[in-house]
A and B are shown apart, each in its own frame.
Chain A
Amino acid sequence: MKPAAFEYHAPTTLAEAVGLLARLEDEGCDAKILAGGQSLMPMLAMRVARPDALVDLGRVPGLAGIRLHDGHIAIGAMASKRAAELSELVRDKQPLFHAATRLVGHQQIRNRGSVGGSFAHADPASEYPAVALVLDMEMVATGPDGERVIPAAEFFVTYMTTALEPGEILTELRMPVLPARAGWAIREVSRRSGDLALAGVALTLRLDAGRCTDVRIAAFGVGATAIRLTAAEDALNGAAPSADRFARAGAIAAASLAEPMSCIHATADYRRHLVRTLLERSLADAAARAG
């Protein structure tokens, strides 16, 4: 299990990195961006990924900050998950993102693995794409033509595929702070603690005069990418929170899923049922937090 040979580039500015990617593309060279490497390295070792060149962003300064900006939290794509986990800003202002981060792998992985890397990798079983949909996050990509902002709903295209163009680098992730009196929850079922989820649910909601509002729900691990559960949202918006209502929302969510994926650990039906159960339980969590 040793990687095939590749050329290695370690640009020291963002402009250099962007230029390098453009040049490599012109040369017909299959280049891949190396961020933390925690997902890429196993693929290299198994030779299921065999790029001609790696462009390591590890030497590019300015991509790892975590800051409050215009009422949003902006996380540099190269910030480690551990940095996000330890950030008081993230923990206090966006606890859903914080909780999701703690569910990713183990500490050794979170120390090295970048936040942006997981977004660009777009594994449908990972927590971040679902959280991105729930929080309506924005991804900032930098390419030869400068920056562009991609909303989460457009960013995740399908299985391990994003809207990033070849030559574009994901540089920043923006998310709103959690509004006052908002509730949030994230739950997943995985075989072992720290494993990728068989299925999971992330959501936010608010309680306004005893009614659920602004309900946003996404499921992960059940489709080619994270899925907004709009039918369940519709069933909850304007409704009084109750165990019955949450159970019904779970059932609606499960029914609304197209055929979930099937693997050795979970059949499609099982995954569908997990979404139902996890949503029901998550809604109770979120309602309690919002209360």
Chain B
Amino acid sequence: MSDFKVMVRERNDNIHTLELKGYLDAHTTPVLEDAFQKLLSEKKYRIIVNCKDLSYISSAGLGVFMAFIEDVRAEEGDIKMSDMTPKVFNIFDLLGFPMLYDIVKTEDEAAKKFAEKSVR
């Protein structure tokens, strides 16, 4: 069975981080959907998805990001992604996802992008 976990962490800059671990496929996507759902119900719209321990993603997993990005941006928030392994990044890249999402090297870099936007 696929193993997948999400850890939610509150940073000190009003940003919440979702740390993904394991295999995100058609079986495990509800776990990530629930995590997003919970953040949105608490009106937390500044979200970083840390993909350091994400070993695998299929289109079902990519669909979760598509499901929430519009609502999050409508609330002046964003979903930014960090720490992807090249293997996982190549799948996002194959579908052109870097056009729509900020995908950066580190979580701090993602946080900095949130800060830049608030200044504007």
Decide whether A and B assemble into one complex. no
- A interface residues (Cβ-Cβ under 8 A, vs B): none
